[in-house]
Chains A and B, each alone.
Chain A
Amino acid sequence: MSSLSILSSPISRERLRRFVPFFVLVVTLIVLFNAAPGLMRWRAINSLMMDNAPMLLLIIGSTLPILIGCLDLSVAAMASLAAVSGALLSPMLGSFAGLAVVAGASLIGALQGYLIGRMQIPSFVMTLGALGIFNGAALALTGANMVGIGSGMWLFDSLAGRNFGISNMFLLVLAVVICLQVMLRFTRMGRNIYAFGSSELAVYVSGIRRDLVRSVAFGISAGCGALAGLMMLSQTQFANATIADGMLLPALVGVVVGGTAISGGVGSVVASLIGGIIAVLLRVGVTISSMPPSSQDIVFGVVILVAVALTTDRQKIGVVK
């Protein structure tokens, strides 16, 4: 087989695509470390990871709805809502506030997934509406003020701490990635999720319950969003209703850069983690270079266009709207 024909078979293209994000990451790291040797210190890396752990978690959680071919626009708003809810509940529940918030968020996310199927409205619409509802709820709960947590809460203190010299938040991110990756690779639901993203109709006719798949995907994205919000809360000890609002678009960029196709069925949470780290490094690169900070948005915008153009399975889309 000539080398050209190897490249043209879909399986090899698939393998290539999976390695590209990793490759890009390495290149970005090299470029960055050349430009700013100060970054190579462990401390710098660690604080970078800690600052961006919430964003990475959002990216990881957002991957699941995208894997099934949908979109969850409410993740960032959920993070904000979770942050303020965590702060408000902490006087009563102490550290269990965190558990309650994550559990509640997951249920709400699962409900979203279920309703999308029942009402047959686009996930875009459902989650856009949910975005508004979460925003409004967060604003109303806080009265548009900041809310804070007292000190001495185990959960929030430990989140801010570190083990083995690595920030706990980043460890948590890694733990979530590992759990989700295991779920995607080794459970029935994981198999169903990938199949759903590739051919929803075939999955239906194969006897799989679509409602369940959607609920799991949106439940996980909401849960991760909530966790991200709690992380932000423990970072700054304060939260307000819009703390995470600007993070939605960068989160989508991270997912897409990691190689997960918007059309669904292709990608993984590990890929999203890599994509997220690349996005973070891009941001760092823009900051330390002489480019004005506003170029960040422009760069992200261009990156999203290029990344999606390369990863979308056009055959699947048919008429592109």
Chain B
Amino acid sequence: MQDGFKTSGARDLELSSRKGGELPSGPKADWWKQASNILQKHGPLVALVGLCILFSLAAPNFASLGNFVAVLEAAAVPAIVAIGLTFVLMQASIDLSVEGVSSLGNIIVSIMVANTVTGTDIGLWALPLVIATGAAIGLLNGVISIYARMPSLIVTLGSWLIALGLASLLFPNRQPQILDTRITSLAIDKHFGVSSLVYLAVAIALLAILVEKNTVFGRMSRAIGENEPVLRMSGIRVNRYKMAAFTVAGACFAIAGLFIAARIGVGNPRSGIGLLFPSIAACVVGGTLLSGGHGGIRQSMIGVLILVTLRNGLIQIGVDPLLQSAVEGAVIITAVAASTWHLRSKIRIIK
């Protein structure tokens, strides 16, 4: 996703008050710049709080503990996917292979631990195996897109299909049911009413935030999305960080597949389908834009919560659940349009 404009619209406004006199509308421009900045920084959180308040008023059951738990549970899987996507999106690339890799992850877990169909049982070694597989696919994505110089959109489109196909290929004749209770207990056992999956998701998110804020990889990811040529000229090994981002994404998607396996308890080669759209929407709504250089893990998590809350709330107030994807579709369009509104210019090329 290439945004043809590198300078921010707000900066252009400041630039314009320097030379040759005033803006046609003086103080109004300052206000607009301020508003735009505030909207970008705090908008999503405000939106989340606003949604919660709205739904609490509109639906009696919304503000209950049980519902709160339901929201958290529903958010666990998209959150993991969003974490993986975030680093890639910050770099202004994209990874569409979510559904394929997570389905593959689900299948691998289901056939590698004790199950009703295959004889293999490698126990908890399945976890690193799944993560490694996801990471390997991610690394491959990165390598192909960098060295064959192809847009990440296409490369990950291809690996999406390939991973989905691999998942189908590995699927045995009958649906394998997972017998290893250590896996399934992740979803079933509740601590303080919330399953281990949620705690795991929170832990991974916290780890990701630490990585984002304190490692060179994390800090550089946003910089790469903002101005890659300058970084290359400064001698930074941009390619390494790009490949790292895809690897992390692949690993996260595979973990999401593991979560799904724990939840549904069986192996399903199409279990990941339907994950992509909400996760991208969540990232974008939270502020991790497709154009790169913006957002972060915290923002993406807020975005996930917004989307899950929206879904949950709409059902509570009686909106036809079938319209869900329509609402989400409208939300994603509005969110992206609103976040880039101030950048619009006649000479800007957007494809």
* Chain A residues close to B by CB (< 8 Å): 69-71, 116, 119-126, 128-137, 139-140, 143-144, 200-201, 204, 249, 252, 262, 264, 292-302, 304-305, 308-309, 312, 314, 317, 319-321
Contact = CB atoms under 8 A, between A and B. Distances in A.
Contact of A321 (B144, B152, B344): B152
B350 interface: yes
Contact of B159 (A121, A252, A301): A301
A171 to B, nearest CB: 31
Contacts of A298: 161-162, 165-166, 169
A70 B167 CA distance: 30
B22 interface: no
Contact of A131 (B277, B322, B336): B277
A262 B320 CA distance: 38
A124 B290 contact: yes
Interface stretch (B74-82, B116-124, B323-331): B323-331
Nearest to B338: A119
Contacts of B94: 321
Interface string B147-159: 0111111110111
Listed from nearest, the 9 A-B pairs whose CB atoms lie closest are A136-B326, A132-B329, A294-B168, A297-B165, A301-B161, A298-B165, A301-B162, A129-B333, A139-B322
A165 B154 CA distance: 40
Contacts, number: 173
Contact of B158 (A133, A302, A320): A302
B347 interface: yes
B117 to A, nearest CB: 16
Best-buried of A70, A137, A301 by chain B (most CB within 10 Å) = A301
A319 B2 contact: yes
B228 interface: yes
A294 B171 contact: yes
Contacts of B325: 132-133, 135-136, 139
Nearest to A318: B2
B29 interface: no
Contacts of B347: 201, 204
Given A120-B343, A124-B290, 12 more contacts: A119-B333, A132-B281, A132-B325, A132-B330, A134-B329, A200-B349, A252-B157, A294-B165, A294-B171, A319-B2, A320-B146, A320-B150
Contacts of A309: 148, 150
A312 B145 CA distance: 13
A316 B345 CA distance: 21
A300 B343 contact: no
Interface string B339-351: 0110111111111
A95 B323 CA distance: 28
B247 interface: no
A80 to B, nearest CB: 12
24 contacts: A70-B351, A116-B350, A120-B340, A125-B336, A129-B330, A130-B329, A134-B329, A135-B325, A135-B329, A136-B327, A139-B322, A139-B325, A204-B346, A292-B168, A292-B169, A294-B165, A298-B162, A299-B165, A301-B158, A301-B159, A308-B154, A319-B2, A319-B228, A321-B1
B292 interface: yes
A122 B343 CA distance: 13
A320 B350 CA distance: 15
A69 B153 CA distance: 13
- SS of A interface (majority): helix
B277 A305 contact: no
Contacts of A262: 151, 154
B243 interface: no
Contacts of A129: 329-333
Given A122-B290, A125-B290, A297 B162 contact: yes
B326 A140 contact: yes
Contact of B322 (A143, A299, A321): A143
A320 to B, nearest CB: 5
Contacts of B171: 294
Nearest to A141: B322
B160 interface: yes
A116 B167 CA distance: 36
B340 A121 contact: yes
A210 to B, nearest CB: 10
Nearest to A306: B158
Best-buried of B145, B336, B344 by chain A (most CB within 10 Å) = B336
A120 B290 CA distance: 13
A300 B168 CA distance: 14
Contact of A249 (B144, B161, B277, B336): B161
A296 B151 CA distance: 23
Contacts of B149: 314, 317, 320
B105 to A, nearest CB: 16
A132 B326 contact: yes
Contacts of A124: 1, 153, 290
A314 B150 CA distance: 8
Contacts of A200: 349, 351
Given A304-B157, A321-B1, A294 B326 contact: no
Given A122-B351, A125-B290, A301 B165 contact: yes
Contacts of A70: 351
A237 B341 CA distance: 45
Contacts of A204: 346-347
B280 interface: yes
A316 to B, nearest CB: 11
Contacts of A128: 277, 280, 329, 332
Given A122-B350, A125-B332, A262-B151, A305 B326 contact: no
B78 to A, nearest CB: 15
B336 A121 contact: yes
B337 interface: yes
A302 B157 contact: no
A299 B164 CA distance: 11
A309 B269 CA distance: 28
